[in-house]
Structure 1
Amino acid sequence: MALALLFIILFALLIAGAPVAVALGVASLTYTLIEGVPSMVVLHRMVGGIDSFPLIAVPFFIMAGHLMNTSGITTKIFTFSRAAVGWMHGGLGHVNVGASVIFAGMSGAAVADAGGLGNIEIKAMREAGYDTDFSVGITAASSTIGPIIPPSLPLVVYGVIADTSIGRLFAAGLIPGLLMAFSLMIMVAYYSRIRKYPRDDRFRFDVFFRTLWAALLPLLTPVIIVGGILFGIFTPTESAIAAVAYALFLGLFVYRTLDWRRVLRVSMDTVETTASVMMIVATSTIFAWILTANQVAEVFASGLLDLTENKTAILLLMMLIVLVIGCFMETIAAITILTPVLLPVALSVGVDPVHFGIILILNLMIGLLTPPVGMVLYVLSKVSAVPFERCVVATAPFLIPLISVLLLLTFVPELTLWLPSLIYK
């Protein structure tokens, strides 16, 4: 009875529009009151859920993304990408994807990509004669690359909850992220041919090297982060601190586009975002503990295995569940709720936890492009002044390459696991 009430309250609050942390907290606390769980145990579980060294990376990756946007580094990235691939058919569409790949190595968050690069990209594409729908659609789709290519905020949270190496997760995300970019560029090429979108000027080596030189220091950010992890200079958690220090160095002393007032404002924004993430993690810890105590994961796994023991069918069912939930729930909240339930099922059919983490995050990234939640769509609707409903329609065709990559990664695990197995022998 109490367990049923837990889910009824949770979904009722979510449907009513309550914040996810509030919905999880109220539902979980109601259950503990009915079951007579001491309040100190609840508080201990909440504090224990966020008392994790890897979670220190969360505020620093958030701050690094804010600093990159505020200091104007995103403009340099876009200009370099334009010089590198703008000469192709539908050049600015390819630039859009390329800039997202580069920015992914700095921020690790789709919303930061959409908010930072999105305004620059859509404005440039409109001025060059591209359809607004196409501009918004490719900008939304390319922003989902951010949390797959390392560093990645969602992968840090998944690694903590699943007790899986964050370094291996970061390594596993590189090839899938590049596959996403390649698939989106194929889509851009297709649209460019049938709609006859323009190229930029022909490729010029002098422009390429000039913009490369201007963007060289920002381009070193992912090299510093990923290289530092691979060579053992710092841990994935410490790499987030290195990213913030480097972003501050560029903004304050190299480009001089930051001042301490802006740094303070960025810090306040970071505190606000981090607080919401940590509240979700803390309340979801109680929720996950209740599920574990009631063996919900085991019952769910048993139910799926009773339906079929076929690995392919089980993976498809789980991906469908994640896809549906991703349409209604924010990414971090979905990770914290779904991982304790679905990971045991994945392990029972022989799926590596690193592989499962990548396909889970990619699936949830697709959820960022679908209503009713669709955080990326809301951000782009704001920065582009395009109605939300129109953003949904504009993005829909670009779900095809993303879902195709998701299916490919799901059933060809070597694409995900080859690089971590090579690096972490």
Structure 2
Amino acid sequence: MEVLILVLSFIILIAIGVPIAWSIGISSICTMLVSIPTISAFTTVAQRMATGLDSFSLLAIPFFVLAGEIMNRGGIARRLVAFAKSLVGSLPGGLAHVNIVAAMMFGAIAGSAVAAVSALGSMLGKEMEAEGYSKEFSVAVNVTASTTGLVIPPSNILIVYSLASGGVSIAALFLAGYVPGIITGLLLMITAAIWSKFRKFPSGERTKLSVVFRTFVDAFPSLLLLVVVIGGIVVGIFTATEASAVAVLYCLILSFAYKEVTVKNLPQIFLNSVLTTAIVLLLIGTSMSMSWIMAYENIPQNITEFMLSISNNKFVILFIINMLLLFVGIFMDMTPAVLIFTPIFLPVVTNLGMDPTHFGIVMVLNLCIGLCTPPVGSVLFVGVGVAGTTIQKVIKPLLPLFIAMLISLMLVTYIPELSLWLPRLFGF
């Protein structure tokens, strides 16, 4: 009975347009009202929200959000685009490759797909149009490429998964994301090259080595942030939370050195970071309350037993989970999806012998596809808004890029070493 109320109330609230965080919180309260008195139901949900946010690891999220906001304003994207153009601008569909490579670098540094799609869309969109690329193709490339930064560390969503999984090593997750993120980027580049060749989009001129070196030197301080943050975590100099604070300090110093940010800009940067952080943490709080209610009702255990009764074949179960997550990603934002479905699916895959670190990368990579699909695809909406076009027009060039992302997902799902090689190399 409680499960039915939880699911139906959540679906109805989403269907009538209630924001996802409020839908999760309200459906959680409705479920609790069935079994306990009103005051106790509200108190329990509030307590679980507060307890869910009472985690030292979560402190990394506002710091990484602030670091990303500083980067977005600090001229870092422009320097990364220039470096990417010098590397891949001469390939077939040159500017499409520039977009993908720049998105991988900027998304990894900023840890935000929305920041990447906004910054690179406004910077490269008009340039791609001027060189003969269709607006819809440039949006499709920008949107899909921007999600790679959620897999390539540092990544806020991997920190959220660590919390939802009960403490999987953040350092291991960060290391595990590199190869899958790069594979996804390469498959997007291959798809973009084929599409560009078919549509006869132009290629850029070959760049001189001196220009490559100059743009690399200009972008090097920005790229060094990855070494400082990830290197510090892996070596054990600081935790992921401490690394996020180091990232903010580094980005501030770099942005002031570039003279792209002044003291007058800081209040607006802080305000934007607070707004983003508030949305993310509200989602986390309400999602944690729903996760607790599902555990209280033994939903994860029941689903584990049901799925294992269907098949004990690891490949079949992983395929079913991937299909379910792809469906979930269409209707639900990534953060609540990770918090709600990790406790449900993780026991299933661990019973089959799957490493929790590997499953975390599979889950995040899967839900990245949902960010590019309507009706809840936040990255898609931002990309379309920046370009001034419509979702209907973008769907056609998006489809082959979706296929590339699905191929990457299948490779990472069924070849564990793609995710686990680096963590094992460093002893995680």
TM-score for the superposition, normalised by structure 2: 0.96
1:115–1:379 Cα contact (<8 Å) kept = yes
| 1:383 to partner: Cα distance | 0.6
2:108–2:150 Cα contact (<8 Å) kept = no
User: Which residue of 2 is the match for residue 7 of structure 1?
Assistant: 7
Do structure 1's residue 83 and structure 2's residue 90 form an aligned pair?
Answer: no
Superimposed CA distance per residue, residues 109-150 of structure 1 (whole angstroms, 9 cap, x where no aligned partner): 211111111221222211211122221111111111010001
Which of the numbers 192, 195, 200 marks the counterpart of 2:196?
192
| 1:304 to partner: Cα distance | 1.1
1:118–1:383 Cα contact (<8 Å) kept = yes
Do structure 1's residue 267 and structure 2's residue 267 form an aligned pair?
Answer: no
**Using the alignment, how far apart are the partners of 1:234 and 1:121 within structure 2?**
36
State the SS of the aligned residue for 1:18. coil
1:371–1:392 Cα contact (<8 Å) kept = no
User: Which residue of 1 is the match for residue 251 of structure 2?
Assistant: 247
2:107–2:115 Cα contact (<8 Å) kept = no
Amino acid at match of 2:274: V
| 1:63 to partner: Cα distance | 1.3
2:53–2:281 Cα contact (<8 Å) kept = yes
1:105–1:221 Cα contact (<8 Å) kept = no
1:355–1:417 Cα contact (<8 Å) kept = yes
* Structure 1 segment 21-420 matched on structure 2, within 5 A: 21-36=21-36, 38=40, 39-162=42-165, 163-252=167-256, 254-420=257-423
Amino acid at match of 1:8: L
**Using the alignment, how far apart are the partners of 1:393 and 1:202 within structure 2?**
30
- The worse-fitting range, judged by mean Cα deviation, of 402-411 and 108-117 is 108-117
Superimposed CA distance per residue, residues 175-200 of structure 1 (whole angstroms, 9 cap, x where no aligned partner): 00110111111112212322332222
**Using the alignment, how far apart are the partners of 2:198 and 2:9 within structure 1?**
50
4+ runs of 1 displaced by more than 6 Å?
none
2:137–2:394 Cα contact (<8 Å) kept = no
1:13–1:23 Cα contact (<8 Å) kept = yes
**Using the alignment, how far apart are the partners of 1:27 and 1:194 within structure 2?**
49
**Using the alignment, how far apart are the partners of 1:386 and 1:285 within structure 2?**
36
User: Which residue of 1 is the match for residue 427 of structure 2?
Assistant: 424
Unaligned runs of 5+ in 1: none
| 1:391 to partner: Cα distance | 2.4
**Using the alignment, how far apart are the partners of 1:20 and 1:193 within structure 2?**
41
**Using the alignment, how far apart are the partners of 1:160 and 1:235 within structure 2?**
14
| 1:309 to partner: Cα distance | 1.5
Superimposed CA distance per residue, residues 231-269 of structure 1 (whole angstroms, 9 cap, x where no aligned partner): 2221112111111111111112x1111122322111111
1:377–1:391 Cα contact (<8 Å) kept = no
| 1:10 to partner: Cα distance | 1.1
- The worse-fitting range, judged by mean Cα deviation, of 281-290 and 37-46 is 37-46
2:5–2:31 Cα contact (<8 Å) kept = yes
| 1:58 to partner: Cα distance | 0.8
**Using the alignment, how far apart are the partners of 1:348 and 1:261 within structure 2?**
54
2:148–2:184 Cα contact (<8 Å) kept = yes
**Using the alignment, how far apart are the partners of 2:192 and 2:394 within structure 1?**
17
| 1:22 to partner: Cα distance | 0.7
Amino acid at match of 2:23: A
Superimposed CA distance per residue, residues 261-290 of structure 1 (whole angstroms, 9 cap, x where no aligned partner): 322111111111111111111111121111
Superimposed CA distance per residue, residues 200-226 of structure 1 (whole angstroms, 9 cap, x where no aligned partner): 222201211221222221121112111
State the SS of the aligned residue for 1:106. helix
State the SS of the aligned residue for 2:249. helix
1:50–1:281 Cα contact (<8 Å) kept = yes
| 1:378 to partner: Cα distance | 0.4
**Using the alignment, how far apart are the partners of 2:93 and 2:159 within structure 1?**
35
**Using the alignment, how far apart are the partners of 2:346 and 2:241 within structure 1?**
23
| 1:40 to partner: Cα distance | 4.1
Superimposed CA distance per residue, residues 65-114 of structure 1 (whole angstroms, 9 cap, x where no aligned partner): 11111122111110111011112221111111111121133111211111
State the SS of the aligned residue for 1:179. helix
Amino acid at match of 2:108: G
Amino acid at match of 1:297: P
State the SS of the aligned residue for 2:133. coil
- The worse-fitting range, judged by mean Cα deviation, of 353-362 and 179-188 is 179-188
1:115–1:380 Cα contact (<8 Å) kept = yes
| 1:336 to partner: Cα distance | 1.1
State the SS of the aligned residue for 1:164. coil
- The worse-fitting range, judged by mean Cα deviation, of 182-191 and 364-373 is 182-191
**Using the alignment, how far apart are the partners of 2:48 and 2:332 within structure 1?**
23
1:61–1:243 Cα contact (<8 Å) kept = yes
**Using the alignment, how far apart are the partners of 1:17 and 1:34 within structure 2?**
24
- The worse-fitting range, judged by mean Cα deviation, of 386-395 and 404-413 is 386-395
**Using the alignment, how far apart are the partners of 1:115 and 1:186 within structure 2?**
23
1:108–1:153 Cα contact (<8 Å) kept = yes
**Using the alignment, how far apart are the partners of 1:184 and 1:63 within structure 2?**
29
**Using the alignment, how far apart are the partners of 1:122 and 1:424 within structure 2?**
42
Unaligned runs of 5+ in 2: none
RMSD: 1.4
